Structure 1
């Protein structure tokens, strides 16, 4: 969290100096039709919330940030700075015609950033075609290298998504017992005063017989978790409940989630579980640390900041969380990626203190998180954006998928309960990768 507002953007040297021609036009579309059905087969880009969102395909421009060497400070934000300079350079040489003028129109890039600066995978992608829907309006954006290209010529109807087929499941980098040992060791270090909280994650693997059609995962996730943000960027696919930030103009919204319980079998048990969490010293402490990290990150960037004093319950299809929604009015010189750099990693996915927790994570998890628990989302040329935290997700590469899940560890954490919480979070992607019985 060492990003600072930059008063004047500098152009990023880029050997690719092509001029981009961007055109956004309105589309007639059924308000309840799935945007996923617009996608052709291949490597889709998506950011969906219910029936709204944006999807894209093709590549007009791409940035891949090189991982930094081992020993780099775990809170280094240079990959976000590099991404901001690169997108600014694209905007400088883009000719934009936007007939719709909504957040997500005009020049748009999808992005995924790694959890740690030493990991490979921080990527921005400007698609050739974007289809979006917001507030009952649907649009088409095309990005071409030559002016005058008719947008409808690039709008290809999507083929039917393919079922995943048989899936073989493999254990992750650490066994259940090894991970429980890592949790127990972390609790001991917290009780000894080394840190206050660390978020530990697990991975597991899935292998299909043929390349996974990401579109079928997107549709299953979008349908089952309409209150979440369903995403596909750079191989990271999932449905996250956690909104790192939404920026429209100078207004910013962020949603903090920390503290988890399963949903009850009926309304009475559901209510009981939620009230237990609200009364739990362990869960309230974990949540409070996450809220404190958000407040500390946003205060230097904001002219106004409102953070509720007490969390509320957010109930999803499979779990319920303690949630706090914060609002800010950003200072004029602060960009969306400035705010992303300042907020990442929140205490909800890293820990407290941040640098100490990130070093512990690298030491005991036994894996490279890649894009898991990193920012994922989109940014447009007007500075509007939505970024979530890549949770309840998998990295999909052809016929292979690597699933991730984790939880916050504090002094009162129990290894058996933490394993159970991670397993409940794994179910999101395991069920998305499992075809319904014929």
Structure 2
């Protein structure tokens, strides 16, 4: 019988046994997830799903998590029959971190699952992890079919629409007064269903609709983000920076004109420049070479268009994905400029506990490789009432920001989660619609 999971915050890291084997293509990864302890990290059909829990660590932040992870890796026995090292195979941990530790009661955390099923570039693998004294565990079986949400209704958020737009106006005033250059303001929206929500349904809907985004599920935090804080593999780090957004209309010609307007918008280009500069400055101390694009490109998603830049860097030996995430968070894309001033204004203007929204979410492996995205386009399931989920979206505010336009942008950014929640009801109504 397997031992219960350990809390790494209070115990010396245990000795783990890790075994990775090659497996046939399992098909849709999300279909393998069981109802409990489900974890997911997917993009374009590839990625990892995991379940079970061996050890957990309540972290103060990415730096603290890196220290704990280094000690845990050193205590582990790892076997693999893979003929090449695939990032994410072997010993792996998933984590999510709060946006602002000084303004939340929610902890950050890392979890090592018992079973990980992964696929990348046509190669599939299965990793099983246990304590040294654990008995051999049986092979995993396919998960059950998640029920769709029913009776979903929305209760509003912390601020009314009028209060949120007033907060944007105050932020623009702060910027005009020279207190800061940019600040990112978030809003929330609570959704309530008739029965407990199954996060696997949301993962399936999001990964299918937004294949170019990173769809994730970690400790009840579920979403599909287009923004990669840092990806590290074989010494090459990549950060995808997004700032500057416009809603799509669904009409090809109109959206092409909107993309052109976005690429020329002084307000959006200014917002984007602050975000790219903050990432480049944070990466530079860890790099032997850094490539920062001179101009952004337009990233097309089903619901919005973004200004995007992919910053790349060759990192020094010993640098890890978690270490880079600690250095990069929070970037100007989710906080503002200057960082400390913007973070203070966020707490004063939002009246909102962001919890893990806009914090790093992702995974790391025993080699130090990993992917840490920014937790955007997401919701957090209520731990005590699983019928409830709090959705989040944010907008970058600069001198040229208009409260009505920012409200519309926030609505567009909430659309992925809202759509995933209400799509079953729309499907039932479709045959009766004219």
- Using the size of structure 1 for normalisation, the TM-score is 0.92
Q: For 1:97, which of 58, 65, 79 is the aligned residue?
A: 79
2:329 aligned with 1:329: no
Name the count of aligned residue pairs. 412
Q: For 2:101, which of 117, 120, 129 is the aligned residue?
A: 117
Q: For 1:416, which of 393, 397, 404 is the aligned residue?
A: 404
| 1:36 matched residue in structure 2 | 30
CA positional deviation for 1:323? 0.4
Looking at structure 2, the residues matched to 206 and 432 of structure 1 have their Cα atoms a distance apart, in angstroms, of 12
CA positional deviation for 1:373? 0.4
1:104-143 paired onto structure 2 within 5 Å: 104-118=88-102, 119=104, 120-143=106-129
CA positional deviation for 1:165? 1.1
CA positional deviation for 1:43? 3.1
Looking at structure 2, the residues matched to 94 and 278 of structure 1 have their Cα atoms a distance apart, in angstroms, of 49
3-state DSSP class of the match of 1:376? strand
Looking at structure 1, the residues matched to 342 and 377 of structure 2 have their Cα atoms a distance apart, in angstroms, of 21
| 1:238 matched residue in structure 2 | 223
Contact kept in structure 2, 1:238 and 1:393, CA below 8 Å? yes
Looking at structure 1, the residues matched to 388 and 290 of structure 2 have their Cα atoms a distance apart, in angstroms, of 43
CA positional deviation for 1:345? 0.7
Contact kept in structure 1, 2:80 and 2:90, CA below 8 Å? yes
- Using the size of structure 2 for normalisation, the TM-score is 0.92
Q: For 1:51, which of 41, 45, 52 is the aligned residue?
A: 45
2:392 aligned with 1:404: yes
2:218 aligned with 1:259: no
1:71-90 paired onto structure 2 within 5 Å: 79-90=61-72
Q: For 1:393, which of 353, 361, 378 is the aligned residue?
A: 378
Provide runs of 4+ in structure 1 moved above 3 Å. Answer: 146-151
Structure 2: give runs of 5+ residues left out of the alignment: 1-7, 429-434
CA positional deviation for 1:235? 1.4
3-state DSSP class of the match of 2:191? strand
CA positional deviation for 1:266? 2.0
CA positional deviation for 1:277? 0.7
3-state DSSP class of the match of 1:421? helix
Contact kept in structure 2, 1:378 and 1:387, CA below 8 Å? yes
Contact kept in structure 1, 2:20 and 2:128, CA below 8 Å? yes
Contact kept in structure 2, 1:121 and 1:234, CA below 8 Å? no
CA positional deviation for 1:162? 0.9
**Cα deviation digits, residues 270-321 of structure 1 (max 9, x gap):** 1100110111110000000001101111111111000110000100010010
User: Residue 161 and residue 189 in structure 1: after superposition, are their counterparts in 2 closer, same or farther (change >3 A)?
Assistant: same
CA positional deviation for 1:435? 3.8
Looking at structure 2, the residues matched to 415 and 14 of structure 1 have their Cα atoms a distance apart, in angstroms, of 46
Looking at structure 2, the residues matched to 106 and 377 of structure 1 have their Cα atoms a distance apart, in angstroms, of 16
Looking at structure 2, the residues matched to 408 and 15 of structure 1 have their Cα atoms a distance apart, in angstroms, of 41
Looking at structure 1, the residues matched to 315 and 244 of structure 2 have their Cα atoms a distance apart, in angstroms, of 28
2:178 aligned with 1:193: yes
Contact kept in structure 2, 1:165 and 1:435, CA below 8 Å? no
Looking at structure 2, the residues matched to 134 and 173 of structure 1 have their Cα atoms a distance apart, in angstroms, of 40
2:197 aligned with 1:212: yes
Contact kept in structure 2, 1:228 and 1:240, CA below 8 Å? yes
| 2:58 matched residue in structure 1 | 64
1:17-36 paired onto structure 2 within 5 Å: 17-29=13-25, 33-36=27-30
CA positional deviation for 1:341? 0.9
2:275 aligned with 1:279: no
| 2:415 matched residue in structure 1 | 427
3-state DSSP class of the match of 2:211? coil
Looking at structure 2, the residues matched to 141 and 215 of structure 1 have their Cα atoms a distance apart, in angstroms, of 21
Structure 1: give runs of 5+ residues left out of the alignment: 1-11, 66-77
Looking at structure 2, the residues matched to 389 and 122 of structure 1 have their Cα atoms a distance apart, in angstroms, of 14
CA positional deviation for 1:81? 2.0
